[in-house]
Structure 1
Amino acid sequence: MLFYQRLKRFVSGTVSKSHFRSFNHSLRMSSNQASKVIAIGQMCATNNKAHNMQQVEELFRKAKTQSAKFLFLPECCDFVGEHRKQTLELAEPLEGATMTQYKELAKTHQMWVSLGGIHESILDANNDKTDKIYNTHVLVNDLGEVVSIYRKLHLFDVETEEMRFRESDVVTPGPHLVAPVNTPIGLLGMQICYDLRFGEASSLLRKLGAQILTYPSAFAYSTGKAHWEVLLRARAIENQSYVIAAAQKGAHNSKRTSWGHALVVDPWGKVLANCEEQDLAIATAEIDLNKNVSVQKNMPVFQHKRNDVYSLTSFGMGTVDITQDHQFAKNIIKKETIFYETEHCFAFTNLRCVVEGHVLVSTKRVTQRLDNLLCHEICDLFSTVCKVQRMLEKFYQTTSATVTVQDGPDAGQTVPHVHFHILPRRPRDFSENDHIYTRMDDRCLDQPDRSLEDRIMEAQKYRDFMKGQ
């Protein structure tokens, strides 16, 4: 079964939106790679941005001499501020000078680069800096183009006997995971540092097709000494994927020191490369996706997961760019009339509407009853319904909606496929509120079918609106 459609990235200003991609192209990616040598970088950034850029340039040169085609840089590769005010002052938007230099380096060296965590200014409506930033992982290709943007989800707010650090004092958490990105070395899942401690995110990325998980970091010395390698190897083993973790190392200032030991781990949990305690260094490794295949074939743990008992669902990872038609019982819903889809669901415009904006959300798997759905389908379906409802209320500037499912023929279901009706409501749109349910009976609808052109135009309006959200 084809779970995902090809990923396409949209980057508008500082907003990144992702698509699903075909899961079964991974072996093709493996055989077509001209070079699979990657380099992990280790450095010690300070509040001197010019000196930090010199370190990055040196890491590019070192990677080039080792014939690497992909360089992974650590979190805070742009700078490490000494206090909140300085961090806000030094931060830049993604269109800033520092990002421009990074892109030029990638283009000059003809090398993909993972910028493992830069301080991205959050701008207000006047394009002025606010008092918050994002911790942002940016992927740039060998043409110097931004391919993907991920903003750190989990913020490091920790207070122990040895240290106190509150990342949330200055950083706003990212809104969602980003689907694995198609790169020359395979499908790459993007994370940052403290995200490493949240195995759910890595499992979701693996479920979405990730072959390589990335954890660029500035791991604190004390926690790094205790947990760094253990956690990285655990993520590799449980997800049967490569793990790549560039790292900061050394004293950034009098208050902050990082552990270092940048690592590459294979899908069996074997450490392939380690920068250990070197100050400014790279280590190289070869990515062989056949290793993923053999490990997953010999121990198919993801096939053994009990999706009937538990599940993981990622919210906010749907797409408005639809690449194929979907089946609705015995009917085929044209892709042009579908305005949103997730891993297990799709939303589309209706053939006959009870009210303006009456749309449907259905499961991709053809099944007649709600009680036939698996845990992950239930989660995905209901979260999709809620998202579409919110969108419709904003689009039509309403504050209420009727959301209903006719579960079985005796409940009025005329299409034997699980689906929700979402109907924006206006004041006094029916003389009696519950008359809407009578009108939903197809036998009571006297209006003709809407034209395909009308439904396509409506779907496009919703897609455009959702892109702008």
Structure 2
Amino acid sequence: MLFHKQLTKFGSGALFNKLFRKLKTFANMSFQSTAKVIAIGQMRATNDKNDNMKQVEELFAKAKQQQVGFLFLPECCDFVGENRKQTLELSEPLEGPTMSQYKELAKKHEMWLSLGGLHESILDGNCKTEKIYNAHVLINDCGEVVKVYRKLHLFDVETEEMRFRESDVVRPGPQLIAPVNTPIGMLGMQICYDLRFGEATTLLRKAGAQILSYPSAFAYSTGKAHWEILLRARAIENQCYVVAAAQVGPHNAKRTSWGHAMIVDPWGRVLANCEENELAIATAAMDLNKNMVVQKSMPVHQHKRNDIYALTAYGMGTTEITQDRLFANNTIKKETIFFETEHCFVFTNLRCVVEGHVLVSTKRVIKRLDGLLCYEMCDLFSTVCKIQGMLERFYKTTSATVTVQDGPDAGQTVPHVHFHIMPRRPHDFKENDHIYTRMDDRCLDQPDRSIEDRVAEAQKYRDFLNSE
């Protein structure tokens, strides 16, 4: 009721400023200036890669004049092909000469760089495959590649104004990438058409994203109708900054981009807009304290009904383990944990039935499966599937026994929900089901493995997961 009265009295903009002042006083926070100035670039790429690189160099120079430490470039900043054949011919692997030039520019200007969408060729031996990736590449100020995200959602549409089939040339990316720690904050990486899929950004926000990036070459007709609305919606619903560099103008006779590169704040306000200007940058200072203030004043993510509905991104987790975990009344040392997600963790076993026998457990101490909440169910089984696949690749096996003992009469000795994953080899037991008998016997006649053994095994799995 108070919120409604304030909204009516002050209007949304005034309300935000009033809440901002109140929260600062109420929480007794010392808000030092943490604002970081960033730049978004807008350009008109063609099939002339040399000219496109000259445009990029000029955008760097403009950003340098503004003393910016982070430049965002649009999708297709390397080139825009006129047809499928030309696009495949002009594409390069990420170790190619075009990427080397981008790295050198970032290093020369001591500037972080978001390369919004490169045409990444995929090599089979020495030959290019028939499709490529649309890759968003993040480069640091030393000229090093930090992370690569490959576009998940492909632009296959047919409207009254246009027809476009990105999947004729591009292969969809394999997974969502966890937010990346950068000097401006935790950055969630997306590309163009991904903007229409709010589920992905919800997952990035859950994983800690403070900034969502949508480098784009948005079609003119759809951009005119939806571009700003979608960008502001993603900012408002996730209470994050949204950064969207853009292509603008006619690239060839068949393709024209909308432009209007934008930076939007967590309240949904447009801080910068390149409009339809060619070869332009726009800058804005981003203060992550705004994220916190908006999220505290309207805690929508705390209000989500995770017991009723949930989202889980397959494969998204981390091998950088920062703390020990409880396993019922036992403490699992972080050195033996080799993968964790939002709600579960994976660790090496004290007593193994077969080589590679690991456990996947929920972070919350839950005795039985019927105590799991919706989001824990999704996350737990998704992680089990990922780790099963990883172990089979690691040990070069083709089968696994995956089991859960739910309750003491089923053999559960630790009252905390967990799955056993055991890679299987041909004839590893005289009778296949003897593995279950062995699971019961191991506690009686098998000594505990040393902590050194378990830590070394966990490190091998971490290294393998990081190499994939």
Q: TM-score, normalised by structure 1?
A: 0.89
Contact 1:438 1:444 in 2 (8 A): no
Distance 2:68 2:425 in 1: 60
- Name the SS of the counterpart of 1:348 in structure 2: strand
Q: Which residue of 2 aligns with 1:83?
A: 83
- Name the SS of the counterpart of 1:303 in structure 2: helix
Q: Which amino acid aligns with 2:43?
A: M
Contact 1:219 1:248 in 2 (8 A): yes
- Name the SS of the counterpart of 1:302 in structure 2: helix
Tell me the alpha carbon deviations over residues 358-412 of structure 1, each in whole angstroms, 9 at most, x when there is no partner.
Answer: 2211112222111222211111111111122222333334333221111122222
Give the share of equivalent positions with the same residue, in percent: 80
Q: Which residue of 1 aligns with 2:342?
A: 343
Q: Which residue of 2 aligns with 1:353?
A: 352
Q: Which amino acid aligns with 1:51?
A: D
Q: Which amino acid aligns with 2:465?
A: M
Contact 1:327 1:333 in 2 (8 A): yes
Q: Which amino acid aligns with 1:404?
A: T
Asked whether 1:389 is paired with 2:388, we answer yes
TM-superposed deviation, 1:416? 1.2
Contact 1:206 1:239 in 2 (8 A): yes
Q: Which residue of 2 aligns with 1:376?
A: 375
Q: Which amino acid aligns with 1:88?
A: L
| Larger helix share, 1 or 2 | 2
TM-superposed deviation, 1:459? 2.7
Distance 1:392 1:146 in 2: 28
Distance 1:226 1:168 in 2: 23
Q: Which amino acid aligns with 1:340?
A: F
- Name the SS of the counterpart of 2:257 in structure 1: strand
Q: Which residue of 2 aligns with 1:261?
A: 260
Distance 2:237 2:430 in 1: 58
Q: Which amino acid aligns with 1:437?
A: Y
Distance 2:101 2:201 in 1: 30
Tell me the alpha carbon deviations over residues 203-233 of structure 1, each in whole angstroms, 9 at most, x when there is no partner.
Answer: 1111111111111100001100100011001
Counterparts of 1:279-290 in structure 2, within 5 Å, are: 279-290=278-289
Distance 2:76 2:58 in 1: 16
TM-superposed deviation, 1:247? 0.6
Counterparts of 1:48-197 in structure 2, within 5 Å, are: 48-124=48-124, 126-197=125-196
Distance 2:467 2:103 in 1: 26
Counterparts of 1:412-427 in structure 2, within 5 Å, are: 412-427=411-426
Distance 2:371 2:131 in 1: 45
Q: Which residue of 2 aligns with 1:242?
A: 241
Contact 1:439 1:445 in 2 (8 A): no
- The unaligned stretches of length 5 or more in structure 2 are 1-28
Distance 1:143 1:396 in 2: 37
Instruction: Mark the CA change 1:198 to 1:423 in structure 2 (over 3 Å): closer, same or farther.
Output: same
TM-superposed deviation, 1:294? 1.1
- Of 431-440 and 267-276, deviating more is 431-440
Contact 1:41 1:262 in 2 (8 A): yes
Instruction: Mark the CA change 1:241 to 1:399 in structure 2 (over 3 Å): closer, same or farther.
Output: same
Distance 1:420 1:349 in 2: 12
Tell me the alpha carbon deviations over residues 168-222 of structure 1, each in whole angstroms, 9 at most, x when there is no partner.
Answer: 1111111111111112221111110000000001111111111111111000011
Instruction: Mark the CA change 1:443 to 1:388 in structure 2 (over 3 Å): closer, same or farther.
Output: closer
- The unaligned stretches of length 5 or more in structure 1 are 1-27
| Count of residue correspondences | 439
Q: Which amino acid aligns with 2:60?
A: F
Q: Which residue of 1 aligns with 2:3?
A: none
TM-superposed deviation, 1:442? 5.2
- Name the SS of the counterpart of 2:365 in structure 1: coil
Distance 2:463 2:114 in 1: 30
Instruction: Mark the CA change 1:444 to 1:139 in structure 2 (over 3 Å): closer, same or farther.
Output: closer
- Of 335-344 and 299-308, deviating more is 335-344
Q: CA RMSD in A?
A: 1.9
Distance 2:311 2:403 in 1: 25
Q: Which residue of 2 aligns with 1:363?
A: 362
- Name the SS of the counterpart of 1:63 in structure 2: helix
- Of 435-444 and 238-247, deviating more is 435-444
